[in-house]
Amino acid sequence: MEYDSLQVQDVLVPVDGSPAGFDALALACTLAKRRKGTVYAVYVIEVARNLALDAELAPEARHGEEVLTKSEDVAAELDYKVEGEILQARDAGHAIVDEAIERAVSAVVMGVDYETPLGEFDLGNTALYVIKHAPCQLVLLRAAARE
Amino acid sequence: MYIIVIGAGKVGYYLAKELLAEGENEVLVIEKDGAKCERIAEELGDIVLRGDGCEAATMSLAGFGRADMVIAVTGDDEDNLVSCQVAKVKFNVPRTVARINNPKNEEIFRRLGIDATISATAAILAHIEQELPTHPLIPLLTLRMGLEIVGLKIPPTAAVVGKRVGELMLPQQSLIALIIDSRGSPNAPTGQTVIQAEDEVVAVTRTENEGALRAALTAPSTSEPFGAAASGQ
């Protein structure tokens, strides 16, 4: 059997400022580098329904900028570049999938924290939605379980 | 325009779909049932909120405060009434529309300030009544402030046949807005327009004057002319 190894070119990475997100970004850079693909780092601001979708959310936007700046630093350490973007959406999962479709990326690389809100690991709605609806390959990088 | 639809049954689903297709609307559907929410999210995108559209907390979360219109189309008249009334009173939503399943509730909705009501039952009844000579007056549209648009066909035996519109003794706050003749030509009537047998008349009247209007336009020529109670304009 001939095995064609994972061929990833352009990659979308959702970043939220968590270590798992930056780990995913580093992995995405490593994968994309082999074929000189583009890495898109997206930070999604979830806008509450009581606000218009295009409402100005300065503190959130500022945090997004900081996360994207750090994303660029992470990529630079790997001698690579990322294209950062801040999106405003009602739901992060939908926004990530829509962005993956629009940019026609070959993979989404997503980091998730090891969260146990009710004593058991919970993947979270965003990751679940992306797993279910992303049209491209999806690499999910879960953070190490905490003792 | 931000439009909130309460209820994701078939009516809510297709309504949301059409409103989205218009392209300029921001639409949110509120639904209690998780499976229906998933279906909407799968097919129409991120426009659904799972929750009870009668609860003020859900309403706040949904952004009723900035909604331009709330349309309650659940299968339950009471829920539709509560949603629209709270939207109107607490959140000052400019326009509320409620689906009514039991036509008898229409008056209650109107009295409680719901801007517009839609009753599928009443609409079907109107179509049935159109075919029945025993029901010559058909409610076409409920307007605000207790007014409605009605349609009726002038029977050949009616006393008004051959009379000018200006001569008619119509009930208070009633007026003839349109006459469609037997060939199907619509005419805006003047005081000189002569009523013909088989004319279809579209009139605006108060709900409580429906019966008087029907009597004024359909009473046979052998009967007494329409009485004093219905003679004021």
Q: Which of B10-24, B55-69, B103-117 has the lowest mean pLDDT?
A: B103-117
pLDDT for B122: 74
Domain boundaries, position A19: 11-91
B2 within 8 A of B67, measured Cβ to Cβ: yes
The 8-class DSSP code of residue B193 comes to: P
User: To the nearest whole number, what is the mean pLDDT of chain B?
Assistant: 86
pLDDT for B63: 94
A129 within 8 A of A97, measured Cβ to Cβ: yes
From first CA to last CA, the distance across chain B in angstroms is 39
Where a domain ends, among B95, B122, B149? Answer: B122
Res. B108 pLDDT band, cuts 50 70 90: confident
B21 & B84 share domain: yes
Total domains, chain B: 2
Q: What tens digit of pLDDT does each residue of B6-51 get?
A: 999 999 999 999 999 988 899 999 999 999 998 998 899 889 999 9
H or E stretch at B103: none
Instruction: Give the CB-side neighbour count of residue B63, counting CA atoms within 13 A.
Output: 24
What's the order of all strands across the beta sheet hosting A107-112?
A82-89, A39-46, A11-14, A107-112, A137-142
What's the order of all strands across the beta sheet hosting B116-119?
B48-50, B26-31, B2-6, B69-72, B95-100, B116-119
Question: Which of the pair, B48 or B231, is modelled with greater confidence?
Answer: B48
B21 & B97 share domain: yes
How much of chain B exceeds pLDDT 90, in percent?
51
Contact A50 B28 (CB under 8 A): no
Q: For residue A96, is it within any domain? A: no
pLDDT for B152: 87
B91 & B194 share domain: no
Is residue B232 scored above 60 in pLDDT? no
B12 & B76 share domain: yes
Contacts of residue B206, Cβ cutoff 8 Å, sequence gap at least 6: B146, B147, B148, B171, B172, B173, B174
How much of chain B exceeds pLDDT 70, in percent?
90
Contact A50 B65 (CB under 8 A): yes
Distance from CA of A112 to the nearest CA of B (A): 22
Its ipTM equals 0.73
Contacts of residue A44, Cβ cutoff 8 Å, sequence gap at least 6: A14, A16, A86, A87, A88, A89, A92, A95, A96
pLDDT for B177: 93
Q: Name residue A45's beta-bridge partners.
A: A88
SS (H, E, C) B118-160: EEHHHHHHHHHHHHCCCCCEEEEEECCCCEEEEEEECCCCECC
Among A143, A87, A135, A134, which residue's Cα sits nearest to residue A112?
A143
Q: Which of A88-97, A131-140, B60-69, B112-121 has the lowest mean pLDDT?
A: B112-121
Nearest CB partner across the interface for A94, out of B28, B46, B65: B46
Q: Which residues of A touch B58 (CB under 8 A)?
A: none
Q: Is A118 on the interface with B (CB under 8 A)?
A: no
Total domains, chain A: 1
Question: Measured at the alpha carbon of residue B72, what is the angle toward residues B69 and B73, in degrees to the nearest 5?
Answer: 130
pLDDT for B23: 85
Res. B130 pLDDT band, cuts 50 70 90: low
pLDDT for B233: 40
Phi-psi category of residue A91: left, alpha or beta, with phi > 0 → left and psi -120 to 50 → alpha: beta
Distance from CA of A33 to the nearest CA of B (A): 33
pLDDT for B214: 87
B37 & B117 share domain: yes
Res. B136 pLDDT band, cuts 50 70 90: low
Instruction: Give the CB-side neighbour count of residue B126, counting CA atoms within 13 A.
Output: 17
A89 within 8 A of A95, measured Cβ to Cβ: yes
Question: Which of the pair, A127 or B146, is modelled with greater confidence?
Answer: A127
Res. B229 pLDDT band, cuts 50 70 90: very low
pLDDT means per 10 residues, chain A with 147 residues, are: 77 96 95 92 95 92 96 95 95 95 95 88 91 94 85
DSSP-derived pairing of the beta strands B175-180 and B200-206: antiparallel
Mean local confidence (pLDDT), B194-214: 90
Q: Is A54 on the interface with B (CB under 8 A)?
A: no
Sign of the CA dihedral with A124 first, then A126, A129, and A134 last = negative
Q: Is B65 on the interface with A (CB under 8 A)?
A: yes
pLDDT for A94: 93
Domain boundaries, position B171: 134-230
The 8-class DSSP code of residue B166 comes to: G
Among A66, A57, A72, A62, which residue's Cα sits nearest to residue A25?
A72
Among B62, A77, A76, A100, which residue's Cα sits nearest to residue A85?
A100
Is residue B230 scored above 80 in pLDDT? no
CATH of the domain at A71: 3.40.50.620
H or E stretch at B227: none
B151 & B95 share domain: no
Q: For residue B129, is it within any domain? A: no
Contact A52 B28 (CB under 8 A): no
pLDDT for B132: 63
Q: For residue B204, is it within any domain? A: yes
B187 & B96 share domain: no
B26 & B49 share domain: yes
Q: Which of A9-13, B188-192, B225-229 has the lowest mean pLDDT?
A: B225-229
B106 & B152 share domain: no
Contacts of residue B1, Cβ cutoff 8 Å, sequence gap at least 6: B24, B25, B26, B68, B69
Where a domain ends, among B84, B101, B122? Answer: B122
Mean local confidence (pLDDT), B85-104: 92
Where a domain ends, among B88, B122, B156? Answer: B122
